[in-house]
Amino acid sequence: MRTESMRTVRGVKAIVEYLASVNCPMGKSTVDKLIRTKEIPHMRFSERVIVFNLDTIDEWLKGVDSQTESSQKRLG
């Protein structure tokens, strides 16, 4: 039986660095707001421990990108 490990990062600083590495830079305050409004997928294990599944983040980014494109088409 083969189990695959999840690609994860822990903490806001780590997800900000990851987003910059995939050409989607966001500031810490933006990520904090997205967490607070539950717009970015994450897992919170305690008040101070937050983990992001990078595969889920990649899928989320694709959805955000397609929403932006359709908004631009409507405006353009």
26-30, 35-39, 55-59, 61-65: segment of lowest average pLDDT: 61-65
At residue 15, the pLDDT reads 98
At residue 6, the pLDDT reads 83
Q: Per-residue pLDDT for 57 more than 90?
A: yes
**Which residue has 């989320």 as its token pair?**
60
Q: Per-residue pLDDT for 66 more than 80?
A: no
Q: Which tens digit of pLDDT belongs to each residue from 4-15? A: 678 999 999 999
d(CA 38, CA 20): 20
Q: Which tens digit of pLDDT belongs to each residue from 35-49? A: 999 999 999 999 899
SS3 assignment for 1-69:
CCCCCCCEEECHHHHHHHHHHCCCCCCHHHHHHHHHCCCCCCEEEECCEEEEEHHHHHHHHHHHHHHHH
